[in-house]
Structure 1
């Protein structure tokens, strides 16, 4: 059977490993996608636009840099709010940022707990309605403190009554005033409460696909530890974010631009500056200096008079020639000494 030509010829059809790799590589090659312009012309792959994936169901309106800037702003807001609430309630009110993120309005409302207390507010003159979510246990504990209680946590899981809502509105206004105050560099905002709700599933203050900037706070008040949330539509704060970006870009441009030319101010006329003329003549040893006596004559180089340095506040600024002007010794300024011409101090022995 070993001499059968059919069997021996079958071995020649077996592929080696290199040929298998070539077949696999050719199968993995994807067909290039052609990109066409609006006029029908095909763009070259080398000079064509950069194509990136985009999720229309979960759009991202804020970059990581912008979110980081907003996070820093809200950290200041939380610090000021904690101090103000502590003074108002005469009891420590600790706040900490749990999360600052963007999500759709539908996901934001579906994630709201039940029961809860929702406050609908506006920040005039901006468009859109914001939502402040406060846990009922925290709200009842605050209301108990405002009525003279010790601030112990209220265990009841229920909706707030009209009287309790009236009390808690003072706290809500403080929160909204501090939130609006963090945007004062961009625009002056005035908070306004427009309503209260108890269930977020029936809210229709924004489209379902609207992007919400959601801030989650962890509040510790007495022995009560609950959360608060502030949700604001992105289209509401978009003018403020753009103004903040433009202002930061302007500050960066000014910082990197050429320094402004110094201008003379009238107040400079009364500033006194010590002026001194000196020569860099020669060096003496410590023994020679100790041997100097009154009446000794020190020889100077012949051209030293023409190399007189004028120092302003101990800084060499001009070089000139010493001469006699009437009954005074004068220095005729010849040139200005630049910073590169100022020689570093010579090291001396210890």
Structure 2
């Protein structure tokens, strides 16, 4: 078999295009069209084999629910302190990272507060951007609490740190309430630093921590004052390790939901709502109203046998019979109002078959009666 030399043109024809497309790195990759290679515009998420993970997806979901509830409760508390509308929400789901990466991402200077959560052993940290901390301090000291420019950001003084920690006390209370769905803790501040590297939260920079980050926005009646400020909470994994078995989203949801419903029910029982009865309702021409004088009599086209409406808040709820108890006016509930029922209910003898005579029961509502129609005199 004779040997044949391959020319440069033939080599270029064989490999030139592939080398040009692939940059000359390695052999050409054949596209089989089987869908194994990503199409243009498809998002490919790379897997980092060096990523530090200790908690499962289910456990992280529990922490997400816990801190979402914390954000919803701490926002109103901070609003009361600042007398401004404060919105707090999770920037993203809590993430697992290393302590070194957490510290490296913090601004310098910042407001970094170390706290403990007994009976859990070990410290955690709360970081608040100075762009958020300084307006809060200014507001608490009687200022306007306006946003500060980037070149005006500075480390807080010792007095300002004391003022800020008084404000952050409500933060720990909200955090304690949220954690109570998993474990009862008693959080308390220990130290504060403005330079992140001075706060030694873990022994090694490679130690795993869980970080929950929040976006904070402050508004007044004229519009936004501050937007995009950051608040973050960092938990070392060694702190959470003893309670990993309790970090189950199902148990948190059931226990938390029952507690929330109970708190909501207890709060609603104390709410006062306006309640009033509409005895008559009619239309009046504007001409007649403009000529109305003291002593004029308004006659309504309403029969006393028709029920009165009982309104709670802004909703029509009951049909009721007007009357008196002793020297007080009263309304006796006869039926619920059907949303589709627009005309008053006729209060006949069949409305309440078990009706007791007012003479039989001393506190029974005495029915108001007249000759079938009535007048209302303006005095």
TM-score normalised by the shorter chain: which range applies?
A: 0.5 to 0.7
Deviation at 1:82, TM superposition (A): 0.6
1:247 shift after superposition: 7.4
Question: What is the correspondence of 1:141-220 to structure 2 with a 5 Å cutoff?
Answer: 141-155=135-149, 156-207=152-203, 208-220=205-217
CA contact (8 A) 2:55 2:244 kept: no
SS where residue 164 of structure 2 aligns?
helix
Greater Rg over alpha carbons, structure: 1
**Pair 1:101 & 2:103 matched:** no
Structure 1 residue 73 corresponds to structure 2 residue 66: yes
Counterpart in the other structure of 2:230: 227
CA contact (8 A) 2:63 2:247 kept: no
Which residue of the other structure, out of 125, 129, 148, is the alignment partner of 1:131?
125
Q: CA deviation at 1:7?
A: 4.6
How far 1:206 sits from its partner (Å)? 0.5
Over aligned residues, Cα RMSD in angstroms? 2.8
Q: Could you tell me whether the CA contact under 8 Å between 2:109 and 2:195 is conserved in 1?
A: yes
Q: Distance in 2 between matches of 1:152 and 1:196?
A: 24
Q: Alpha carbons of 1:242 and 1:91: their partners in 2 closer, same or farther (altered >3 Å)? A: same
> How is 1:191-340 mapped onto 2 (pairs within 5 angstroms)?
191-207=187-203, 208-222=205-219, 223-225=225-227, 226-245=229-248, 248=251
C-alpha contact 2:98 2:209 (8 A) present in aligned 1: yes
Once residues 191 and 242 of structure 1 are traced to their aligned partners in structure 2, the CA distance between those partners, rounded to angstroms, is 21
Asked whether the equivalents of residues 74 and 174 of structure 2 are also in contact (C-alpha less than 8 Å), the reply is: yes
Please give the alpha-carbon distance, in whole angstroms, between the structure 2 residues aligned to 1:98 and 1:89. 22
Counterpart for residue 285 of structure 1: none
Describe the SS at the equivalent of 2:248.
helix
CA 1:114–1:245 in 2, change beyond 3 Å: closer, same or farther? same
Distance 2:171 2:54 in 1: 25
For the Cα contact (< 8 Å) 1:210–1:233, is it kept in 2?
yes
The answer as to whether partners of 1:109 and 1:203 remain within 8 angstroms in 2 is no
> How high is the TM-score relative to the length of structure 2?
0.49
Residue 119 and residue 79 in structure 1: after superposition, are their counterparts in 2 closer, same or farther (change >3 A)? same
Deviant stretches of 4+, over 4 Å:
none
Gaps of 5+ in 1: 1-5, 9-52, 252-350
Deviations 1:222-256 (A, max 9, x none): 4122111111112212333312339739x8xxxxx
Deviation at 1:171, TM superposition (A): 1.9
Number of residue pairs the alignment of both structures matches: 203
Using a 3 Å threshold, how does the CA distance of structure 1 residues 246 and 153 change in structure 2: closer, same or farther? closer
Are the aligned partners of 2:58 and 2:248 in contact in 1 as well (CA < 8 Å)? no
- Work out whether residues 151 and 221 of structure 1, in 8 Å CA contact, stay in contact via their aligned partners in 2: no
Structure-1-length-normalised TM-score: 0.53
Native 8 Å contact 1:183 1:240 kept in 2:
no
Task: State the Cα distance separating 1:134 from its structure 2 match.
Answer: 0.9
Determine helix, strand or coil for the equivalent of 2:179: coil
1:184-234 CA distance string (max 9 Å, x none): 133211111111111112332202222111011111124122111111112
